[in-house]
Amino acid sequence: MKHIISVLVENKFGTLNRVAAMFSARGFNLESISIGETEDPEFSRMTIVTRGDDQIVSQVLKQLNRLIDTIKVTDLTKQPHVERELLLMTLKLSKTTQHEIFELINVFKGKVVDIKQKSITIEVIGSPDKINTTIDIFRSYGIRELARSGAVAIHRGES
């Protein structure tokens, strides 16, 4: 099962390496990892997407906690949370396809960030599932290049 884990860490050099190295050393699956400074510059927040059965995910959480530079480890999977990913994608553009492409960009609530004679670069934001669908749909128009940010996630606020 897929799990999305939020990890609050010390904002120090080497922290990302410690976390990533732990995953590879213990053979855990690491689907995506993203990191950025938080509202307090002493801390960074990592969002990790991993897969595994309950026993493995429980080990992942414990091993993350065991690292000295991790402050708080939260499995967001079963809690109310918001999850987003950014997709940047360059597509081939031609007279015959441009109309359909523009319509699809609207459907996915994407934005055009760059356009040339024969190519168009778009951004789409959404859940990783939506990003997967976006990529699938656009594939037939010819994807030149794409980059995904990996998921970032956060607890839903208190009501």
21 binds other proteins (CB under 8 A): yes
Size of the chain, expressed as the number of residues it contains:
159
58 binds other proteins (CB under 8 A): yes
**Residue with Cβ nearer other proteins (48 or 91):** 48
Q: Least distance from C-beta 64 to other proteins, angstroms?
A: 10
Are 82 and 127 contacting, i.e. CB atoms less than 8 angstroms apart?
Answer: no
69 binds other proteins (CB under 8 A): yes
Which is it for the CA torsion 110, 151, 116, 119, positive or negative?
negative
The CA distance from 70 to 11, in Å, is 10
**Residue with Cβ nearer other proteins (21 or 113):** 21
Q: Taking contact as CB under 8 A, which single stretch among the options 31-39, 44-52, 65-73, 85-93 is the one that binds other proteins?
A: 65-73
**Other beta carbons less than 10 A from residue 120's beta carbon:** 22
The C-alpha R_g of the chain, in whole angstroms, comes to: 18
**Binder among 16, 30, 67, 88 for other proteins (CB under 8 A):** 67
Q: Least distance from C-beta 72 to other proteins, angstroms?
A: 9
The CA distance from 155 to 92, in Å, is 38
10 binds other proteins (CB under 8 A): yes
Task: Tell me which residue of 79, 97, 111, 109 sits closest to 139, measured CA to CA.
Answer: 97
Q: Least distance from C-beta 38 to other proteins, angstroms?
A: 14
Site for other proteins, rule CB under 8 A: 9-10, 14, 17-18, 21-22, 25, 55, 58-59, 62-63, 65-71
